[in-house]
Amino acid sequence: MSELPKWHGTTILSVRKGGKVVVIGDGQVSMGNTVMKPNARKVRKLGDGSVIGGFAGATADAFTLFDRLERKLEQFGGQLLRAAVELAKDWRTDKYLRNLEAMMIVADKDVTLILTGNGDVLEPVGGVAAIGSGGNFALSAARALVDYESDAETICRKAMAIAAELCVFTNDSLTIEALDSAN
């Protein structure tokens, strides 16, 4: 039996600097060596708009997780860290959720987090986080730029341009969401 081609790609980056937090994602969806869609929206506002997030992985799985996170945010009065920890517990232990294949970056005015199906809730060093196939390229570029640029969105755009040049599963069709930040 031959295996179906895997959906592949996505680069999501978040930078917290200069009183803003930005989450940016590319739009490319690839299956094997074929670009299936160049302009997917993988970044969005969550809940009442006080949280922004982006996903890498299977789209239906990510939307399921975003919905669950929104419910947790309601349950815990908008406390992102508490909601994320509770989602991670469910994701790790629930028989259905355990099979979901996605990663998420979520941020509010106070904290940026990376969530994984392994139960990880990680706060990135220096306010810079990235996931997906081009994530390491975007992360490296953003970390290099953070000392030289004062604007979070400028850092994100430049780092994503570098990732798109290096990763064939990342393009320059970007979706950007930003919030005012406490840091």
10 is catalytic: yes
Phi then psi for 128, rounded to 5 degrees? -120, 125
Identity of the amino acid at 181:
S
Integer Cα distance of 106 and 45 in angstroms:
9
Side-by-side strand order, sheet with 20-25: 128-132, 11-17, 20-25, 175-180
> Are 105 and 131 spatial neighbours (Cβ–Cβ below 8 Å)?
yes
The three-class DSSP label of residue 41 is coil
Q: How far is CA 122 from the centre of its chain?
A: 12
Tokens of 62: 């990510």
One of 10, 11, 112, 170 is an active-site residue; which one? 10
Supply the residues annotated as catalytic. 10
